[in-house]
Amino acid sequence: MTLQQNLETHIKQAAKKLYQADLERVEFQATRKDFEGDITVVIFPMLRSIKGNPVKIGEGIGNYLVENLEKVVKFNVIKGFLNLVLSDAYFLDFFNSVRDFSVFGIKPETSKDAVMVEYSSPNTNKPLHLGHVRNVLLGYSVSEILKASGKKVYKTQIINDRGIHICKSMLAWKKWGNGETPESSGLKGDKLVGNYYVKFDQEYKKEIQQLISEGLEEKEAKQKAPLLLEAQEMLRKWEAGDPETVALWKKMNSWVYIGFDQTYKAIGVDFDVLYYESDTYLLGKDIIEEGLQKKVFFKEKDGSVWCDLTNEGLDKKLVLRSDGTAVYMTQDIGTAVQRVIDHPDVNGMIYTVGNEQDYHFKVLFLILKKLGYGWAENLYHLSYGMVDLPSGKMKSREGTVVDADDLIAQMEETAKTISEELGKIDDFSDEEKKKLYHTIGLGALKYYILKVDPKKRILFNPEESVDFQGNTGPFIQYTYARIQSILRKAGATSGAVKLIELHPKEKELIKQLQLFPEVVAQAAQQYSPALLANYTYDLVKGFNSFYQNVSILGANTGAEKQFRVQLSGAVAQVIKTAFRMLGIQVPERM
């Protein structure tokens, strides 16, 4: 039985005995920092059942709890709030009851139903950029949080490896590449292909201006530019299976995949299942036919097929063109169904996609429900805002994106500069320093992005993110390393701590530790790594306050020292567990 459940039982008994009232529920909240207390009972909702002065009611219940519940040692009432002070023994009992803080708050896989989390889903015509970084960090972290909450998770991406944008890179390489390869150029394959996507756009704009100078309107010039017509013809050849075009497509895509894998490895994310648009773009047509028979869809006179969602406050949505070709919605319907066929235990999906696609996913989920798929009730769009830089918005066609690899390198360099200024790693080997800069730099990047609610837009400042003070990854990493130093100096301690008088800072720290399982559950329920990130920052602030006010290694008694060392170790374990779910490593030394 939890503390709140135990308290609620006794408070209901008090209401019955003292006021002949039956309470449906009891409302609790954290005690305000300016009042004495460890947990607060809100009296006001009880006035529906108990008539009288809320202060007097609070005093009556408080006295009952002190007399009948050993863990409540005293109380105070401020207006309609009953603040309860709990015994040191209660906090020590909790602390001693957790045998291993390294798995505290983590549930074993208990759900038979799996959830599939989709993230990244890049195009194979350019390298991963800062926008992808927020996407992969969110998707990976949500996957890990869901695992910690007891869910079985499949991490997946659908790689957009076909379409006109892919043909633009292919055509530009064919025209101006002179056989250049990643090996001959020394470039990562995704960067090489991305350069030709930019080259296409540059040459295409020149052709548009030339046509406009010859008297065409801009709209017509864009449609009639020879390069675009060639790219469209290349797409037709690819769809027809032209051997030369398919061979070029396979070769350039293989370059990109190798580049992507290197970036994913550097960021520290992975996938369980891969889907490719070249395999899925024809999926869904048979489902549309079934939907017509079920009257989920209707056919217009021109042969096009639609879904009428006006009764649900949306509009009519095209799902099949008049010529029988699919649209993106058709493909997404087919892919979702295919995933469940491939993995029958999947009973829910999470799509990590930017908020510009909010409407698309409302429609997709509604259509899948109308088609009668039970798992469609458990679909969620993990919508997120854009990432901006102080220099402004990124545009991949113009080559103004912040490349993910360049960003990682910049973060490592910034971490190196700041670490060297602090001057605490002089005895590190070059290899140890390199590893530390990567850990700090990536930790700074990931934490800066993940601490923000996914729905909010981010202005990313690399220098600010690597600050060793404030709500940053390096600040938390530094605290973890400080605790490891304390543990090394203290040596091994084991066994339950006997009854000692707790310092207020020790009680505060234990109370923060107690919250961890609830925070993990909330983060999983809300698909929000930000809850976990900001909890970890609060825990670290609590530890640093404890560290500054209480002597750990210089404690007055052996029992006090043992407890404080163990408490420090527990905090470190929870930091490490929380950061693992955020995809962030913690260094043993800094």
Tens digit of each residue's pLDDT (9 = 90 or more) over 379-389: 999 999 988 87
Name beta bridge partners: 380: 350
Give me 179's structure tokens. Answer: 């056989």
Q: Are residues 556 and 442 in the same domain?
A: yes
Q: 370-374, 428-432, 540-544: which has the minimum mean pLDDT?
A: 428-432
Angle in degrees, 0-180, between the axes of helices 243-267 and 130-148, rounded to the nearest 10: 60
pLDDT score for 244: 97
Long-range contacts, 46-53 (Cβ 8 Å, 24+): 46/15, 46/21, 49/15, 49/19, 49/21, 49/22, 49/23, 49/24, 50/15, 50/19, 50/21, 50/23, 52/19
Cα(67)–Cα(61) distance, integer angstroms? 10
- Among the candidates 68, 86, 104, a domain finishes at 86
How many residues are given for the chain?
A: 590
Rounded to an integer, what is the distance from CA 48 to the centroid of its chain? 41
The answer to whether residues 137 and 206 touch, using CB atoms and an 8 Å cutoff, is no
Q: Is the residue at 313 inside a domain?
A: yes
Q: Is the residue at 353 inside a domain?
A: no
Give me 185's structure tokens. Answer: 């150029």
Cα(505)–Cα(349) distance, integer angstroms? 43
Q: 169-173, 183-187, 390-394: which has the minimum mean pLDDT?
A: 390-394
pLDDT score for 193: 97
- Among the candidates 86, 105, 120, a domain finishes at 86
Q: Are residues 316 and 208 in the same domain?
A: no
The answer to whether residues 138 and 450 touch, using CB atoms and an 8 Å cutoff, is yes
Q: What's the whole-model pTM score?
A: 0.92
Number of structural domains, the chain? Answer: 4
Q: Are residues 427 and 567 in the same domain?
A: yes
In the chain, % of residues over pLDDT 90: 88
Q: Is the residue at 216 inside a domain?
A: yes
Cα(515)–Cα(184) distance, integer angstroms? 55
Q: Is the residue at 262 inside a domain?
A: yes
Q: Are residues 422 and 566 in the same domain?
A: yes
Q: 367-381, 431-445, 485-499, 500-514: which has the minimum mean pLDDT?
A: 485-499
Q: Looking at 355-393, which runs of residues are DSSP E strands?
A: 379-384, 387-388
**pLDDT(73) > 60:** yes
Give me 324's structure tokens. Answer: 């029988």
Q: Are residues 492 and 571 in the same domain?
A: yes
Q: 111-115, 357-361, 490-494, 517-521: which has the minimum mean pLDDT?
A: 490-494
Q: 8-12, 186-190, 280-284: which has the minimum mean pLDDT?
A: 280-284
Cα(352)–Cα(186) distance, integer angstroms? 33
Radius of gyration of the chain (CA): 30
Give me 510's structure tokens. Answer: 């234990």
Q: Is the residue at 485 inside a domain?
A: yes
**pLDDT(394) > 50:** no
Give me 562's structure tokens. Answer: 């043992």
Q: Is the residue at 125 inside a domain?
A: no
Q: Are residues 487 and 547 in the same domain?
A: yes
Q: Which pLDDT band holds residue 499 (cuts at 50, 70, 90)?
A: confident
CA-angle at 526, arms to 520 and 527, nearest 5°: 80
**pLDDT(395) > 70:** no
The chain-wide mean pLDDT, for the chain, equals: 94
Torsion of CA 205, 210, 213, 215, to 10 degrees: -100
Nearest to 117 by CA among 133, 139, 146: 139
Q: Are residues 304 and 430 in the same domain?
A: no
pLDDT score for 424: 76
Q: Are residues 317 and 266 in the same domain?
A: no
Q: Are residues 183 and 77 in the same domain?
A: no
CA distances from 176 to 80, 86, 180, 199 (A): 77, 75, 9, 9
Give me 261's structure tokens. Answer: 């894998």
Cα(142)–Cα(120) distance, integer angstroms? 13
Give me 327's structure tokens. Answer: 């649209």
Q: Which pLDDT band holds residue 465 (cuts at 50, 70, 90)?
A: confident
The number of beta carbons lying within 10 Å of the beta carbon of residue 202 is 12
pLDDT score for 538: 97
Q: Is the residue at 478 inside a domain?
A: yes
pLDDT, tens digit (0-9, with 9 covering 90-100), for 91-138: 999 999 998 999 999 999 987 899 999 999 999 999 998 889 999 999
Give me 181's structure tokens. Answer: 């390869």
pLDDT score for 486: 96
| Range 261-268 average pLDDT | 96
Percent helix, strand, coil in the chain, to 5, is 55, 15, 30
Q: Are residues 426 and 307 in the same domain?
A: no
The answer to whether residues 573 and 104 touch, using CB atoms and an 8 Å cutoff, is yes
The pairing of strands 81-86 and 379-384 is unpaired
**pLDDT(253) > 90:** yes
In the 8-state DSSP scheme, what is residue 495?
Answer: S
Q: Is the residue at 491 inside a domain?
A: yes
Domain at 8, CATH number: 3.30.1360.70
Q: 59-68, 124-133, 230-239, 574-583: which has the minimum mean pLDDT?
A: 124-133
Q: Which pLDDT band holds residue 2 (cuts at 50, 70, 90)?
A: confident
Q: Which amino acid is at 511?
A: K
Cα(136)–Cα(333) distance, integer angstroms? 23
**pLDDT(172) > 50:** yes
Q: Are residues 201 and 318 in the same domain?
A: no
Q: Which pLDDT band holds residue 391 (cuts at 50, 70, 90)?
A: low
Q: Name the more confident of 54 and 401.
A: 54
Cα(131)–Cα(445) distance, integer angstroms? 13
| Range 183-201 average pLDDT | 96
- Among the candidates 86, 118, 145, a domain finishes at 86
pLDDT score for 392: 52
Domain of residue 171: give its range.
163-277
Q: Are residues 527 and 430 in the same domain?
A: yes
Cα(116)–Cα(342) distance, integer angstroms? 11
Domain at 448, CATH number: 1.10.730.10
Q: 359-363, 369-373, 423-427, 557-561: which has the minimum mean pLDDT?
A: 423-427
